[in-house]
Amino acid sequence: MAKTEDLIAVFDSGQGGISVLRELVRQMPREHFLYFGDSANAPYGSRPTQQVRELTLDRIAMLMQRGLKAVVVACNTATGATIDELRSRYPHTIIIGIEPALKLAAEQSTKGRIVVMATEVTLREKKFSALMQRYQGSHDIVPLPCPKIVEFVERGVLEGPEPEAYLREVLLPCLNADTRAIVLGCTHFPFMRPLIARLAGPNIRIYDGGEGTAAQTRRRLEQENLLLSEGEGRVIIENSLPDPKILALSRMLLHFEENGL
């Protein structure tokens, strides 16, 4: 049984953060993770920023009562709206937030277009504007809100005519011969990566922030001497919707493979 002070909480508006949890488990198999998805209130990404802020602060305050050693905000939307406030409220806890992997995409691509798929909240927040400004000179950055992908993933619809028609309608018009990369700037989107990759074709690279966020979490735990060096880790999954189907979907997504389910 994990001691509560060993727990790392992973938070998202719903199922999306499971794409980050997957990476965290892969990189730190000895750690004990408590995943909390707020599916009762998803999607966050089309709400007023103030509501995202209140929901996130509230849920993290609730998780903090369980005595955590770290919190991973596995939601780009919640990170954009609250990360500074979370860090000042909980200065003694490691707080990591995921951000669209635009830096990596820009550094690894030659001049050309980079499409950043994310939620409306993420794309209008100051954090993203600052990131975009940094790379706008060297690349043609196209922000693309894709709210419906969140709804598909919440329903467990990861492929098929419905998401394909939607992606054809919103994504394909943004791609041109100069497009080098697509950034999946919402943690729900990696579950649709096979479909996105098929539509984008082999010349466009796809980035998501999960791997970098997990690596950053690992580094911070190491720095603070908090990384467990023995034993087998475990994963607790909780959700604000107390429906066994939701938890079964989370478990299924945790074992999602890029090459198909």
Residues that bind ligand DGL (CB under 6 A): 12-14, 16, 42-45, 75-77, 119, 122, 150, 186-188
75 assigned to active site:
yes
Question: How far is Cα 47 from Cα 71, in angstroms, rounded to an integer?
Answer: 23
174 assigned to active site:
no
- The angle formed by the CA atoms of residues 11, 192 and 244, to the nearest 5 degrees, is 50
Peptide bond into 163 cis (omega under 30): no
Please report, as a single letter, which amino acid is at residue 198. R
Nearest approach in angstroms of CB 3 to ligand DGL is 29
Q: At what angle do helices 76-89 and 49-64 cross, to 10 degrees?
A: 60
CB nearer ligand DGL, residue 16 or residue 163: 16
Please tell me which residue in 186, 204, 206, 235 is annotated as part of the active site: 186
DSSP state of 46: T
Nearest approach in angstroms of CB 43 to ligand DGL is 3
Name the β-bridge partners of 239: 37
Residue 190 CA to chain centroid, in angstroms?
Answer: 8
CB nearer ligand DGL, residue 43 or residue 143: 43
Sign of dihedral through CA atoms 108, 259, 118, 217? negative
Nearest approach in angstroms of CB 258 to ligand DGL is 18
Please tell me which residue in 75, 150, 167, 195 is annotated as part of the active site: 75
CB nearer ligand DGL, residue 6 or residue 184: 184
DSSP state of 157: -
Name the β-bridge partners of 9: 34, 71
CB nearer ligand DGL, residue 124 or residue 234: 124
Nearest approach in angstroms of CB 14 to ligand DGL is 6
Q: How many residues does the chain have?
A: 261
- Residues classed as catalytic: 75, 186
